[in-house]
Amino acid sequence: MCENDYFLEEFKESYEHYRHLEKLRSGHITFFFTLVAGFFGFLGFLLKNGSPVSDWTIFVGGLTIVFLQILDTIIYASIRRIGDARAQHAKTLQYLREKLSNDHTIVNGWKAFEGNAQISVQIGAEITLHLFAILFFLAVATGVFFALNRCNLLCWQGCTVLSLSLTIFLAHIGIWLWLRYHK
């Protein structure tokens, strides 16, 4: 086996891992947005009748948003780690591409990465998940204060949902800071 064969096999393997990580990221984002769309579709179905919303419906809706917050934070951490792994594979691919650059027929047809377009997809996914974390927290806070103003929602229900939401929101910020600055 010559040296170029070894580099070519390494290149192919790294390229397959790179594409697999892209598919994982897309799958995570698709799963998350499917759940969010399903939740808001169900919420719209409940609210379309115009009938008054019960306190338990508000409580369960708040807990569902808290669940979506947890999922948002977990998927963010996963997406961030996938981005880090993709960056390492991109470096490997670039190194191997330079090693194989003498023989243009070996690398012809392989596109290791698309540069800024892929970076913007990663950053866009992360920013979108951050925005959803903020929106979920604001939705819970608004819902709880709206329900408490009606004086029907039990205080412990509102405080439970709001404190859970705040805790998860702060955990999301903590995970973001840890993944961003801890190397």
Per cent of the chain over pLDDT 90 is 8
Tokens of 124: 């866009």
The per-residue pLDDT for 110 is 46
Domain segments of the chain: what residues?
3-181
Which residues have CB under 8 Å from 80's CB, separation 6+? 126, 176, 179, 180
Please check whether residue 130 is in contact with residue 77, taking contact to mean a CB–CB distance below 8 angstroms: no
Choice between 172 and 14, residue whose per-residue pLDDT is larger? 172
Burial class (CB in 10 A: 0-12, 13-18, 19+), 76: buried
Q: What is the per-residue pLDDT for 56? A: 73
Please determine, for residue 146, whether its predicted confidence score (pLDDT) is greater than 80: no
- Looking at residue 143, what is its pLDDT? 74
* Residue 115, phi-psi category: left (phi > 0), alpha (psi -120 to 50), beta (remainder): left
How many helices (DSSP H) and strands (DSSP E) are in the chain? 5, 0
* DSSP at 153: S
Contacts of 98 by beta carbon, 8 Å cutoff, 6+ apart: none
Q: Would you call 113 helix, strand, or coil by DSSP?
A: coil
State residue 107's pLDDT score. Answer: 46
132 close to 165: Cβ distance less than 8 angstroms: no
Tell me which amino acid residue 183 is: K
Confidence at residue 51, expressed as pLDDT on a 0 to 100 scale: 66
Q: Which of 94, 112, 125 is nearest to 17 (CA)?
A: 112
Cβ partners under 8 Å of residue 132, min gap 6: 36, 68, 72
- pLDDT for res 31: 92
123-137 pLDDT, tens digit each: 888 888 888 888 888
Q: Is-above-0.85 flag for pTM?
A: no
The pLDDT of residue 113: 46
Distance (Å, rounded) from C-alpha 150 to C-alpha 144?
10
Q: Residue 106 has what pLDDT?
A: 45
* pLDDT in the model for residue 152: 57
Q: What was the pLDDT predicted at 163?
A: 82
Average pLDDT of the residues of the chain = 77
The Cα 86–Cα 22 span in angstroms is 8
- 23-57 pLDDT, tens digit per residue, is 888 899 999 999 999 988 887 777 777 666 677 77
